[in-house]
Amino acid sequence: MEYALLQAVFLPLLLSPVAYIIGRKLGPTPAMWFTFGLLLYTTVLVILAALSGTTEEHYPWTEQFGEFGFLLDGLASPFAIIIYVLSTILALYSKPYMIHRFHEQYEEEQHEITSTTSGHSEIVESSSLSNYVNAKSGLYFALYLVFAMGMLGTVLATNLIEFYVFFEIMLIPGFFLVALWGAGPRRKIGLMFLFWTHAGAVVLLLGFLMIGLTIGSFDFADIDESKIPHDILMLSAIAISIGLGVKLAVFMFHIWLPWVHGSAPTPISALLSPAMIGIGAYGIFRLIVEFLPNTFAELSIWFHIWGLVTMIYGGAMALMQDDIKRLLAYSSISQMGYILFGIGSMSVLGLSGAEMMYVTHALGKGILFMMAGIIIVKVGTRNISQLGGLAGKMPITAVCAMIGALTIMGVPPTSGFMGEWTLFFGALETAIEEGSTVRAVTFGLGLVATALTMSYMLWMLKRVFFGKLPEHLEKVKEGSWYMTAPMMVLAGFTIVLGIYPDIFFNQIIPYMNGVLGV
């Protein structure tokens, strides 16, 4: 289809005001179905473009920056498909969760008004609950669409400045989604999110400027490592790695993620953790592995070690958490370490496994964050110590959560096994070929990290879904179909992908062969 990628990126942005108007005038259900329908259409566009092979679109821009374009190839396809599949599914899930959140905020605001009018028996209301929910729903779905398009635009960009612009665009709705509807000190945490991610983006831009000004172009097609002095190459590669490392939330730059996940509305957590932070990995693949291969060869062992430290740190911290969303946040940090570990393996299978880990993490963690949201809505607490025995009350949620946990643990027949097995096979392959003691030790310690992953996942499942049901949970019921059906879709997808991983490997492995010159 002509202009397929242009439509996929810009229709959600251009039609976001329509979602706002529909929500404000007609309510959350029409706004949700409009958002779902629009994202479903754009998701189909992306999938059809991916099935037709490498797709490129180029459009005139400004002489200062070069050409504006979109590229959907073996690297970008899995990222783009997963971003929009998750965004589409979570649009349905958003409705009951966000209505619950709007009701909570409405009650909080009315309580504040009541407390400031002591001595009066009347409660002053600025608007009815229905109007309040409608207004908030419209704004939520409008921001949601912009958030999704910012992520897709980043992975399809063909120009350094274009990449940076989309990279920054996704931060703006992300900030408002946390600051407006997060839990706890949401504005403070929203600013923390904006500060850390924007700081990373600025460092990233410095790396882009060093490359672009040296070669005289910002277009991906013009980047030639041989035309850039070695010192500038190393400085720019380090700046890019740090900037993307902040977004990836790997060790040293991870501080913001547990706080943001602890506050963010769960549908946004289910997008932010599986989809958004992984875009940092996409940037490393595209900007360093592909465009700066010799520099990547020098830095690969450091990526490998950095990934290992992140895997172990995130897993150990997850094991200590009582808040279910913070546990999943530290789990995401650990999983991003797996991806960086695979990138540092510098082998076709290691790199392919790392990209597959993005896909499997998105599916598994998407399921688990949706599980957390259902528990928040139906039980009213996120503290694991206050839960237990919920499998009998919430069987669909329990089964889907088990499948999501198995995906994160890398247990067959889920997609997690195919990603993890391929990643570790590639890491061991490189260690043997190079005869590297360091790589052999990191491989062994990486296996220890998988034991940590199993530990915190099984410990969480045991405490949440099994054992004796506390008395205060006797009346708990299963979540609505708006919440459980999306979980079931992702659970089915991870099993299908675990049985037939070539759905993505047929695109990923040829690309990695080409990048490494195999």
Consecutive 10-residue averages of pLDDT for the chain (518 residues): 87 94 92 95 94 87 84 92 93 91 82 55 55 89 94 92 92 91 87 89 91 88 86 90 88 86 86 85 91 89 92 92 91 92 91 93 93 91 88 92 94 90 92 88 91 92 89 85 92 93 91 82
* Nearest partner of 203 among 157, 253, 154, 270, judged by Cα: 253
Residue 255: per-residue pLDDT: 86
Instruction: Tell whether pTM > 0.75.
Output: yes
* Nearest partner of 212 among 170, 162, 248, judged by Cα: 162
Enumerate residues 6+ apart whose C-beta is below 8 A from 289: 296, 343, 351, 515
DSSP H or E run through 273? none
What is the chain's percent helix, strand, coil content, to nearest 5?
80, 5, 20
Cα–Cα distance for residue pair 262/325, rounded to 1 Å: 6
Is the preceding omega at residue 30 within 30 degrees of 0, hence cis?
no
Cα–Cα distance for residue pair 228/287, rounded to 1 Å: 14
Residue 225: per-residue pLDDT: 84
Residue 254: per-residue pLDDT: 84
Strand, helix or coil at 383?
A: strand
Residue 348: per-residue pLDDT: 92
- Tokens linked to 372: 């957390």
Strand, helix or coil at 56?
A: strand
Residue 517: per-residue pLDDT: 73
Enumerate residues 6+ apart whose C-beta is below 8 A from 507: 50, 73, 74, 77, 78
